[in-house]
Structure 1
Amino acid sequence: MSGYLIYHPSRVVSDFETTRVYYDNTNGNQDPYVWNPKFLHTYCHITQMSPQVGNINFWVSGDTFPNFNNLYCDLVFVVAEKLYWENSNTIEISDSIVDTDEAYNDHYRWFWQHHYQRRRRFTLKANPESSFQPQNISQELIDIVPFLLEQGFTLIQLRQNLRSGFNSKPMGLGLIAIKLYSWLNQYANIKLYGDELQKIRKKNTILASLSEAGKNCL
């Protein structure tokens, strides 16, 4: 079982009563999309990957890019479905792929930001039972650099493998993906799952994507 490290900008963080959530900003497309029982990934960095069902993908952000010293994991995404769109450059809210009205508003409808010429567009949906946002006892994201160093990586290698020019690119993990999953599953005192996050989204309309502004996935 393999997977990817996927670097993206630091997350917005908000408290909803006793629950703290790290998520994509709402100024446009939210990707990966966490306010759904099955987390969603359609756009950011997806053309730089060859994702398959069973992959374990880890979304991370650092203290700075590209010369980070920390990689904080905000999402463990176990790919359960890879669903191809009928039309790569448009999708209706009534399409069977679309989960909810909220998911369409916040995620699917932003296809115009990423026009395809020949590629077939697909959406990855996560396993709702094994995918989660990992946090420590203080509700902070967990730095995975210590684990990766124990596996034989150096900081220089990580910085090089996650960089493409001035931007980031996904880094393949091979069999280390399952080890990292086990490590995070063990050390995460708090795990937030999609069904809980969806309830938060429904209660807080401020989380809706409202702007038509473009956004850089880094």
Structure 2
Amino acid sequence: MKSIVVSKQKFDFEDFVESNRQFIYLLLIYIAGVLAGSLLFRSLELSKFSNFLSDFITIKSDSLLSVVIDRLSVYLLVYTVTILLGLCIIGFPIINAVPFLCGFEIAVKIAFYYNMHSLKGIGYSLLMIVPEASAFMVILFFTIASSKELSKNIFDISLQKNTEKQLVLKDYLKSFLIYGAGITAISLVNSLIIFLLNSIIKM
């Protein structure tokens, strides 16, 4: 009877980091935004402007349609800005501000709810904000990576740094359409969840 040899492939950490360097870099920028938002909220005592912040942070759930419009408009605004930066010749360094600002906004939201509602605010954030932001940021990271690559290619071709490089916009547009569909689907699902939970959890 022949013995079966099972080969165990070792996890190569360096190879993992190298192959995912782009996304790790974006994640670090996002985390930096979260830290900056948290520190700024505390240092500037933004809690004093709770009524002002409430108008921008609190989701008005009068109807499901209003929630859908609210979330979809925010998602698509960030998504559109990301793509437009990808079409700019100098967009690839500026686009790093997108994950930073997203992290900053999430941190201010969570800090606001914690400041206003203490532990109940943390629970609300874990249910309503963190899952929504995580799902959105996953697709946004892919969009940012494609936009940075597109902008860098436009930059190299414009300055004739790489004369052999050809820009195939069709491939990028196809990716952007897929990401856009994903973001739209996430916004619809999140809107439904937010609407249902807001009817149960009153803040």
The TM-score normalised by the length of structure 2 is 0.27
Structure with the bigger percentage of strand: 1
Q: Which one has a bigger Cα radius of gyration?
A: 2
